[in-house]
Amino acid sequence: MSVRRLAEDQVQPANFAFNAENTTWAEKTIKKYPEGRQQSAVIPLLMRAQEQDGWVTRAAIEKVAEMLDMAYIRVLEVATFYTQFQIKPVGTKAHIQVCGTTPCMLRGSEALMDVCRHKIHHDPLHTNESGTLSWEEVECQGACVNAPMVMIFKDAYEDLTPHRLEEIIDAFEAGKGDTVKPGPQIDRHLSAPVGPLTTLTEETKPDRSNLDKKDEPAPDAAQTPPSNAAKPKTDTPETDPKLKTPATEPKAAAENAKAADTNSDAKKSQ
Ligand code: FES
């Protein structure tokens, strides 16, 4: 892992400004956050500054800090923490970030770095002679299942061999990086296992025997008495089983009244 320091003074530009399109975008982005939380826009603004100039300059860090009313040191902390931010000038056609964390290391990342040393520059974060390519070692990029891998701009290239990485670097150097498909560089779908299925290889048909019994008569629902399980035990008049519903029908109302009289006579005689 490289120490992340800002580029030397002699390569730092004196100032930074977003172009007109990015200024409009930045103002809109800052407004997405609630009042008092505008500092949350620090990562998108730094990333846009990098996309505009190719790397994050000290002047860009200071400009973003002023736009978000933050201390310079806070924005510097963010820019130096995330390896997604390039804080030194990098290759204009590609900056190769080789993952060197354990799964990638065990699967050959050292050989990938040898390719970069040989094809680009012996040392990380130095451009090749024409300034078009650079490389560095980074920590896990979250594609360990397809190790080893490299990240170029925002795309991951996985399941690499030294030979395949050479081809990819050549494609970017020739300005044809968009012809290389990101993701696994072998015959693997996303992160599925390599090769054919080794388990669940037999097709299991669903059991449809119940559906085949459609000619048999359905069980007589009327023979199953309604459950009283959830009915409260109460002797309030409204719950008298002799009451008929709907109570608004004249006949049912008369029967209900008769039942109510009977109940009250019975209670008086007790
Ligand atoms: S260890 Fe290399 S991507 Fe996770």
> Per-domain residue ranges for the chain?
9-81, 94-184
Compute the distance between CA of residue 124 and CA of residue 126 in angstroms, rounded to an integer: 5
pLDDT tens digit string along 7-62?
999 999 999 999 999 999 999 999 999 999 999 999 999 999 999 999 999 999 99
Neighbours of 102 (CB within 10 A): 12
Given this model, what pLDDT does residue 36 score?
A: 93
Residue 74 and residue 65 in contact, taking contact as beta carbons nearer than 8 Å: yes
- Would you identify the CATH topology of the domain 9-81? Arc Repressor Mutant, subunit A (1.10.10)
Give the closest residue to 38 by CA, choosing from 75, 1, 93.
75
In three-state secondary structure terms, 199 is coil
Look-up of token digits 């991951």: 156
Given this model, what pLDDT does residue 228 score?
A: 75
Most ligand 1 atoms within 8 A of CB, residue of 96, 99, 106, 109 to mutate: 99
* Token couple for 137: 């070692």
Helix axes 109-119, 162-173, angle to 10 degrees: 40
- Would you identify the CATH topology of the domain 94-184? Glutaredoxin (3.40.30)
Ligand 1: distance of its center to the CA of 58 in Å?
Answer: 30
What pTM was computed for the model? 0.70
Given this model, what pLDDT does residue 201 score?
A: 84
Neighbours of 38 (CB within 10 A): 17
Most ligand 1 atoms within 8 A of CB, residue of 97, 104, 138, 160 to mutate: 104
* Token couple for 115: 């390719």
* pLDDT band with cut points at 50, 70 and 90 for residue 220: low
Across the chain, mean pLDDT equals 89
pLDDT over threshold 90, residue 212: no
pLDDT over threshold 80, residue 93: yes
**Strand boundaries in 88-198, DSSP class E:** 94-99, 133-138, 150-152, 155-158, 183-184
